[in-house]
Amino acid sequence: MFPLLFDKCGGGALEDRILRHAELYGLTTPHVVERLFIHSQDSTSHQTSLENATELLLELSDRRRLARLEGADTGSEESFERNAFVYPGHELRTGDDLARLWFCCMGGKRRHAIEYREMIEQFNAEGIGDRDGPHHNFFHALAQEEGGPVLYRLYICRAERKNAREQMRNIIGKNARPFRYWIDQGSYGVAVLVQSPQKQHEIEQLLQKSYGGRPTLHQQARFIVSVVPTEADYGMAIKKYEHEAWESNA
């Protein structure tokens, strides 16, 4: 039911593809560029591909096609400040931008961020007016799942248990009434992004708990819960990623 939105950064010169990707997410990192654009195109080692990706990003930064963060030259090798390359003019949203980038580009499954204008075009195509569509600051991503593409609302959860459950209930309830049939057929879901395995376990328990004899949230809609790093623990997340994605496939 959704248009082909999976490869908006494909085609053209490598530099242009990287810049389109950075514009879409607001930022990128050497590990993301290595995974999406470099290693898949050659047979070199991951470490060599990462060095090539870093050189490309530094060159784009030198030409002011991408921006560095304050502290980029003094942070540790694995720090977020040193590894983040921001698209010019983008106002970095602490926590949110990295969460979306990691979920879409660094998880076990590749997902694709959807721009707000694309969401509105899709809603209009389904006969749903702009006023009934998603708010402009709601993040969405498209994933190829078994049975077809699924559009996920990205919910970055920092709330405590009671408030988190209420927010998730609203996402698939009153906030989704105009397109509830998408949820019922499994083509619209919620990706809950959390910042620790403990929070992931807590949310998964909430999703499977019934209140007042009503169906659980998991029974009412498609939910996935994914752990994403914060800027502070970015370095640890990268080391874990290299161990799981690089060494396990060596």
- pLDDT at residue 74, rounded to an integer: 81
**Count of CA atoms in the C-beta half-sphere (13 A) of 98:** 23
The structure tokens listed for 43 are 């047979």
From first to last of the 250 residues of the chain, give the pLDDT tens digit. 554 445 556 678 999 999 999 999 999 999 999 999 987 666 568 889 999 999 999 999 999 999 999 888 887 889 999 999 999 999 999 889 999 999 999 988 899 999 888 888 888 887 776 665 666 668 999 999 998 999 999 999 999 988 999 999 999 998 888 888 999 999 999 999 999 999 999 999 999 999 888 999 999 999 999 999 999 999 999 999 998 887 755 5
Nearest to 170 by CA among 128, 103, 220, 120: 220
- pLDDT at residue 245, rounded to an integer: 81
Stated as kind and residue range, the H or E segment containing 51 is: helix 46-62
- pLDDT at residue 9, rounded to an integer: 63
Alpha carbons 248 and 250: distance in angstroms, whole number: 6
- pLDDT at residue 129, rounded to an integer: 65
- pLDDT at residue 4, rounded to an integer: 42
- pLDDT at residue 208, rounded to an integer: 96
**Count of CA atoms in the C-beta half-sphere (13 A) of 11:** 3
Stated as kind and residue range, the H or E segment containing 194 is: strand 188-194
Contacts of 66 (CB under 8 A, 6+ apart): 19, 22, 28, 57, 60, 85, 86, 87, 88
3-class DSSP assignment, residue 176: helix
- pLDDT at residue 204, rounded to an integer: 97
Q: Is the pTM of this model over 0.85?
A: yes
Q: How many residues does the chain have?
A: 250
Burial of 250 (C-beta count, 10 Å sphere; 0-12/13-18/19+): exposed
- pLDDT at residue 5, rounded to an integer: 47
- pLDDT at residue 216, rounded to an integer: 96
3-class DSSP assignment, residue 221: coil
